[in-house]
Amino acid sequence: MAQQHLEPTDPLSGHVGPVTGDALAGYLRAQATEFLRALRQHRESGGTAAGAEDPVDAARALRRSVRRISASLHTFRPLLEPDWSENLRPELAWLSGTLGLEHAYEARLERLLLALHRLSGAVFPSQPVESRTAGAAPAPDRGNLTVGAAKAGALLDRQLTLARTRSHSTALQALGSSRFHAVADHIAVLASEVPLTKTAPTTDLRPHASAAQERLEDAVTALPLVTAGHPYNAEALIHGLSPDPSPHPQDAPWHQVRLLLRLHRYAREVLTGGNPPLDVRLLTAGQALDRHRDASEASAAAASAARTPRIAPATAYALGVLHADQRHEVEAARFAFQQSWQKQAVST
Amino acid sequence: MAQQHLEPTDPLSGHVGPVTGDALAGYLRAQATEFLRALRQHRESGGTAAGAEDPVDAARALRRSVRRISASLHTFRPLLEPDWSENLRPELAWLSGTLGLEHAYEARLERLLLALHRLSGAVFPSQPVESRTAGAAPAPDRGNLTVGAAKAGALLDRQLTLARTRSHSTALQALGSSRFHAVADHIAVLASEVPLTKTAPTTDLRPHASAAQERLEDAVTALPLVTAGHPYNAEALIHGLSPDPSPHPQDAPWHQVRLLLRLHRYAREVLTGGNPPLDVRLLTAGQALDRHRDASEASAAAASAARTPRIAPATAYALGVLHADQRHEVEAARFAFQQSWQKQAVST
């Protein structure tokens, strides 16, 4: 029923002959340069959130280049000096994880507070960023939150702001650590000299990019897309009250597809000199999987907050409604992914 | 976008000439006879739930005929003696309401306990009726309910069983009351002699049946079917945490359509001598609206249970998840209604 094969995209149209390791080296140099630029910008802005948006943008640019370098090391591994790349990859993963947490907690809190307002029948704040404090403030119109929703919002605000603040400190510490300086040194070298293997400059990249695409397609094929394509299948909430401490193993294959889709996207970038043609399907599918991941983690945060000792029943009730709401967002995201994947496969 | 007009069904195909008040009289006599038969059966079985299924079946048959007589008095009002029918209609409404409550509470409890099991990732009990006590019993496999789900199940069981028991007593008292005997006497007369107006025996029934169909179509047109046709529109839960004591006025138009659909169905029965041709669309649409009503009331019962004083936070959390789950059932039912309504309108 679900046609799960990628359209036979040819990102190389216009190119004559194979794309070789030289293109990989060019891509890695560009990403490394971007990393160094973002790092400089981050240091100049002081690394704190006090000075306008600069540090946030710089941190995002850092994460962006780290993800791309890391992905390229993975996808095109046989073309790179094994000792060098095997040493660098775990360090990039550490860096990417450390730098990403603060933003993740911030986005999670915003998602949950917006959901609480929606569930209270309140008018949405016109500027999302204002919702950060809306848990306690009276909203316009019929928007007064119930006691339970207000308390749930305040509890989530407290817990996720604490987590965000800690992540911020951890990221700052990481950026000042000798471990980070070693990574930065490696990337500085990469900006001028990419450690390719001897044969790499003339090796065709395309089989490696195709392999990344196949891993994505295989993983998508293994997803329960037929179920996901039936609206209101009620699968996502099926373990919503499970005693299992890790109640949503069903999310893992979707998270995995999200990562594989990203590897495929970056491989396309490498093959096209950083300018792949717009692929609406990849874009839409990626957005659906981001939404899936965000809702999955937000639902877990609501469930976790509900285990806080000595909360009021009304607070716990609101968190239960919120958890279920986010699990339905998870289900909606799967449906959206199935729809976009299906539609494009049929239309080509 | 949504095509909301009924197909031009002609339930009269095969009939020559108009269907007149005589057919209405025949239908009412048949329903009155059915009522008397069910009443006799109910009395013989003792009216208690102790003796097998008979009283349940008898009560269902009583409700069934009362609904049809009441609906016919409404739809074909101008053909009936006004004093007689205007006196009888409120009495039939009282009887129908009184007799239906016990079954409603029982079905609501079963729906909520099944949902709790589903949400706990538990295996469904093979016999639904066993789920009545499963809130406390260990379910097979990974099916142990969490403390919160088990306590929520026990609380709902207590509250809805109490309500059911009271409804049972009320229904028994009603069936022994002088008010009921007066209604039964009226229906006994109806079984032999239907008080038509002078002109009714030659009056065409079809304009009155068409008017009932038009009232249904108009009400469907006023439903937010475009929204309902977008899966995961998140409308049904939008006031899930509203401070409004009656948080779901959005359900009312759907309940109204459910009643109008029933009136239309019964009018078709009158016109076809009790044997209307199968209309899959009406059947499916009616089932979706029944599910909508059941889920709406179940979600309200979960929310109401969460307001019980001194419950544990884990219980409240489980009730919150359950409430949201049933609100999504409401949304799913609206989607199902939209789909069935739309599909048939296009295919004819």
**In this predicted structure, what is the pLDDT of residue B128?**
42
Nearest to B176 by CA among B33, B55, B42, B29: B42
Are B316 and A321 inside 8 Å of each other by CB? no
Q: Is the dihedral of CA B166, B170, B171, B172 positive or negative?
A: positive
**In this predicted structure, what is the pLDDT of residue A342?**
86
**In this predicted structure, what is the pLDDT of residue A139?**
37
Question: Min CA distance, B271 vs chain A (Å)?
Answer: 38
Question: Min CA distance, A225 vs chain B (Å)?
Answer: 16
* Chain A residues touching residue B232 (CB < 8 angstroms): 231-232, 328, 331-332, 335
Burial class (CB in 10 A: 0-12, 13-18, 19+), B136: exposed
* Chain A residues touching residue B239 (CB < 8 angstroms): 119-121
Element at B151 (helix H, strand E): helix B147-175
- Six token digits for residue B272: 């076809």
**B128 or A22, which is more confident:** A22
What part of B 226-245 touches A (C-beta under 8 Å)?
231-232, 234, 237-244
Q: Kindly state whether B118 is in contact with chain A, defined as any CB-CB distance less than 8 angstroms.
A: yes
* Chain B residues touching residue A335 (CB < 8 angstroms): 231-232
Are B241 and A148 inside 8 Å of each other by CB? yes
What part of A 85-104 touches B (C-beta under 8 Å)?
none
Least confident stretch, A1-15, A37-51, A78-92, B86-100: A1-15
* Chain A residues touching residue B153 (CB < 8 angstroms): none
Nearest to B319 among A311, A312, A320 (CB): A320
- Six token digits for residue B286: 């009616």
CB A333 within 8 A of CB A170: no
Chain B residue closest in CA terms to A308? B313
Are B321 and A316 inside 8 Å of each other by CB? no
Are B312 and A313 inside 8 Å of each other by CB? yes
Which pTM value belongs to this model? 0.87
Question: Min CA distance, A137 vs chain B (Å)?
Answer: 15
Are B320 and A315 inside 8 Å of each other by CB? no
**B274 or A284, which is more confident:** A284
Question: Min CA distance, B153 vs chain A (Å)?
Answer: 12
**B305 or B136, which is more confident:** B305
For testing contact with chain A, the best of B317, B325, B326, B335 (most A CBs within 10 A) = B317
**In this predicted structure, what is the pLDDT of residue B342?**
86
Least confident stretch, A7-21, A167-181, B216-230: A7-21
Cβ neighbours around A174 below 10 Å, total: 16
Q: Rounded distance, CA A126 to CA B270, Å?
A: 55
Nearest to B131 by CA among B95, B156, B148, B167: B156
| Residue A3 reports pLDDT greater than 50 | no
List, for residues A54-85, the tens digit of each pLDDT value. Answer: 677 888 999 999 999 999 999 999 999 999 99
- The CA-atom distances, in angstroms, between A160 and each of A45, A277, A298, A305, B86 are 25, 38, 10, 10, 63
CB B23 within 8 A of CB B205: yes
- Six token digits for residue A247: 């109640």
| Residue carrying the six token digits 């510490």 | A173
| Phi, psi for residue A80 in degrees, rounded to 5 | -115, 150
Number of inter-chain CB pairs under 8 A, A vs B: 149
- Please report, for chain B, how many H helices and E strands are present, in that order: 10, 0
Angle at B250 between CA B245 and CA B256, to 5 degrees: 115
Question: Min CA distance, A292 vs chain B (Å)?
Answer: 13
Q: Rounded distance, CA B227 to CA B32, Å?
A: 42
For testing contact with chain B, the best of A111, A230, A241, A250 (most B CBs within 10 A) = A241
Give me Rg for the CA atoms of chain A: 22
Chain A residue closest in CA terms to B115? A238
Q: Is the dihedral of CA A318, A323, A326, A332 positive or negative?
A: negative
Burial B293-322 (b: 16+ CB within 10 A, else e): bbbbbbbbbbbebbeeeebebbbbbbbbbb
Grade residue A18 by pLDDT with cuts at 50, 70 and 90. Answer: confident
Nearest to B107 by CA among B317, B336, B315, B301: B301
Question: Min CA distance, B218 vs chain A (Å)?
Answer: 27
* Chain A residues touching residue B247 (CB < 8 angstroms): 121
Q: Rounded distance, CA B269 to CA B276, Å?
A: 5
**In this predicted structure, what is the pLDDT of residue A240?**
78
**In this predicted structure, what is the pLDDT of residue B241?**
86
List, for residues A289-330, the tens digit of each pLDDT value. Answer: 999 999 999 999 999 999 999 999 999 999 999 999 999 999
- Classified as helix, coil or strand, B331 is helix
Chain A residue closest in CA terms to B306? A317
What part of B 247-276 touches A (C-beta under 8 Å)?
247
- Pairs from A227-233 (Cβ < 8 Å, separation ≥ 24): A228/A331, A228/A334, A228/A335, A228/A337, A228/A338, A229/A1, A229/A2, A229/A335, A229/A338, A229/A339, A229/A342, A231/A335, A231/B231, A231/B232, A231/B332, A231/B335, A232/A331, A232/B231, A232/B232, A232/B328, A232/B331, A232/B332, A232/B335, A233/A331
* Chain B residues touching residue A325 (CB < 8 angstroms): 234, 237, 240, 324
**In this predicted structure, what is the pLDDT of residue B239?**
79
**A14 or A6, which is more confident:** A14
For testing contact with chain A, the best of B123, B238, B292, B321 (most A CBs within 10 A) = B321
Question: Min CA distance, A331 vs chain B (Å)?
Answer: 8
| Residue A6 reports pLDDT greater than 50 | no
Grade residue B137 by pLDDT with cuts at 50, 70 and 90. Answer: very low
Q: Rounded distance, CA A290 to CA A296, Å?
A: 10
CB B205 within 8 A of CB B17: no
Domains in chain A: boundaries? 1-17+204-348, 20-203
Are A241 and B324 inside 8 Å of each other by CB? no
For testing contact with chain B, the best of A248, A292, A317 (most B CBs within 10 A) = A317
Chain mean pLDDT for chain B: 87
What part of B 303-342 touches A (C-beta under 8 Å)?
306, 311-325, 328, 331-332, 335
For testing contact with chain B, the best of A321, A338, A340 (most B CBs within 10 A) = A321
Are A318 and B241 inside 8 Å of each other by CB? yes
**In this predicted structure, what is the pLDDT of residue B125?**
43
* Chain B residues touching residue A119 (CB < 8 angstroms): 237-242
